[in-house]
Amino acid sequence: MKPKHCLALLAASAIGALAPHLAWAEAGDPLSDGGIRCAAMMRLKLADTTILSAAMVPATPAESTAAGDVPGYRSFCRVVARVRAEPGSDVGVELWLPAQGWNGVFHGNGSGGFGGNFVLGYPGMVEGLRRGFATATTDTGTAPATPLEGEALAGQPRKWRDWGRLSTHVMTVAGKAITKAFYGKAPRKAYYTGCSTGGQMGLIEALYYPGDYDGILVGAPVMNRTWGHAAVLWDYAAANRAPGHLLSDPKLKLLHKTAIASCWRQGRGLAGDPFVSDPLRCTFDPQVLLCKGAASDTCLTEGEVATARAFYAGPTGRDGKPAYFGWLPGSEMPGTFGWSFLQKPINGQPPFGALFQWVFGPDWDWRRFDVDRDMPIVDARLDPIVNDAMRGSLEAFAARGGKLIVFHGLADTLVPPGQSVAFFDRHAEQMGGVAKLAGSARLFLVPGMMHCGGGTGPVAFNTASGIPQRPPCDDAQHDMFSALIAWTEGGEAPARIVATRYSDDDGDVIAMQRPLCPYPARTVYRGTGSTAAANSFRCELSQE
C-alpha cells in the first residue's frame, strides 16, 4: 500500500536510527570555514545575551547529548546562550547552525510540561537540521524545573511569566540574531513547531508576536493552563481519594473497547475501526459495564464506574455542572500519557500538581482540593500570567501573511481536544467567519491519536510532536510540516492531510491511511473502496 514514489523513505523506529537513511555527504570540508565562524560566536555581543559555548559538531560521529545520540545529518555549529531580557528572567537558548547548505530558514522549536531543559526540543531540531534549517529551542526560562516537575518554581512569578509567554519570543530574537551573525545575512523565512506546552508557545507567538514567524505548526496546544492542570488533578483525585477506584490496565482496555463499540456509529465512523472518528458527537456511560456479580476484569465495580464517569465529565462544581472539558470516549488507553498516567503520582504528588503548590504553598494537600473554592483563587493568581493563549487575536498574524496549522488527537488525555475547537470557533467569530480564518489558520482533528502522537488511529506525521517515525512521503499530502511550508511559500492551503498507521514497528508496511479534513469539514467514506485507503474518503462540510 505504500506509494511507489515513497518506497525509499522508510520510517525509523528511533531518532538515532534516522541518520543512516537520511544523512547526506557534505561537499568539501565544512569544519575549516564553519569552525572559524563557529569559534567567532563566542565573541558575539548581543543585548542581554551571554554566549556560553559554541562548538562544531561533525556529521559523523553523532554527538552525545542529554537527549541521547543526535544524528549528524550535517556538521553544525552548536551554540548555547542565556538571555536575561527582563529583571529576574534567565532564558536558555540552544541553536544548531548547519556549516554548509543552510537554505535561509530559521526554525524555532517548543518544549513540554514545565520545560527546564532543552531535551524536548531536540527531535524537532533534528528534523530542522535534516531540512537544512538553522534550528533552535529553549528551556522556557524555568530551570531547574523539569518537564514533569515544577516544584522548584514555587514563589517565582518571573519564571511563570517566561514559561507562559516570553521565553519563545526571547529564543526567536536571540536565535535570529545569532543566525545572522553566523551566516552574514538574516533568515529569509522562519517556521515554528511544537506540541503541548510547545503548542501553547506557538500560539503565543501568533497571537502576540506576529512578526516572529511566517508559519507555525502546533499540536495539542495548552491554552487554559490553570484549568488544564485542574482537570488532571480532578482525574487523579477520582482514582485515588478512596480505595477501589483506581482503574487497572485490563479495566482500561475493557473500557476502551466498549466505548469504541458504543460510539463508532454515533461518531460517524466505520464498523471495525479501532478508534472513534468523531467522539465529540458521542455520549457513553460506563454504567453499562457495572459488575452484576463478583468483580472481574470483564466488568467495572461501582468505584471504577465512578472514576470513569469523572474522567469523561471533567472538573465539576457542587451544582453538578461541568466547569471544564472532560476526556472523550475512545481515549481510555493505558500507557504513556494515557489514563493510567493520570492516576499515578510523580514524587508523591498528582501529575503536574506543582502549579497548585505555587498558589497554596508546599504544604498543599491534593486530597482537600475543591473546585468551587480553590479554582477562583488559582485563576486570580495565575490566569493573568500563564493563560494568555486564551486571549489575543490572530488578525495581525493573518494580515502579514502568516500561516498557522493546529492538530489535535481526539484521544488526547492531557489537553482536551474541545479546547482547540473552541479556539478556532472564537477566532473565526473575531475574524468574520470560518472562511476568513481558513485563509490563515487550519485545525486538523486526528481520530484515535493520543497526546501529540500514539494511540489506535492513524498518526498525523509532524515535526511538532517529536515523534521520530517518518511519514511515508516528505510531501504536503502526508507531512504537516511540509504542508505548512508549501502553504506559506507557495500559497497551497492544505485541503487534507493523509494520516498513516503502520502494521509493523519499523514502518515498512502501511496498515491504513485516512485523510484528515480541516475543521469544520469531516471525513466521509465514499461508499466503495477499501476502508484502509485514503482515496476511499472525501472531505465534506457538515450540514448540521
Residue 241 DSSP symbol: S
Known catalytic residue: 107? no
* Choice among 196, 262, 420, 482 that is catalytic: 196
- C-alpha 446/C-alpha 391 separation (Å) is 25
Known catalytic residue: 21? no
* Choice among 273, 451, 479, 482 that is catalytic: 451
What counts of helices (H) and strands (E) characterise the chain?
16, 15
Q: Check residue 64 and give its pLDDT.
A: 42
Higher-pLDDT residue of 544 and 339 is: 339
Span 336-345, average pLDDT: 92
Decide if domain 10-223+388-490 falls under CATH 3.30.300.20.
no
- Where are the chain's structural domains? 10-223+388-490, 227-352
Q: Is it the case that residue 46 has pLDDT exceeding 60? A: yes
In this prediction, residue 507 has a pLDDT band, given cuts at 50, 70 and 90, of low
Q: Is it the case that residue 52 has pLDDT exceeding 70? A: yes
Rounded (10°) CA dihedral 207, 208, 211, 212: -90
* Predicted structure pTM score: 0.91
Tens-digit pLDDT profile for residues 126-153: 889 889 999 999 999 999 999 999 999 9
Instruction: Tell me the three cell numbers of residue 537.
Output: 474518503
Sheet holding 189-195, edge to edge: 49-57, 76-83, 91-98, 134-138, 105-109, 189-195, 215-219, 403-409, 441-446
Q: What is the mean pLDDT of the chain?
A: 88
* Choice among 383, 388, 412, 479 that is catalytic: 412
What is the percentage of the chain residues whose pLDDT exceeds 90?
A: 77
Known catalytic residue: 278? no
Beta-carbon contacts of 396 under 8 Å, excluding residues fewer than 6 positions away, are 210
Q: Check residue 72 and give its pLDDT.
A: 53
Lowest mean pLDDT among 112-126, 298-312, 416-430: 112-126
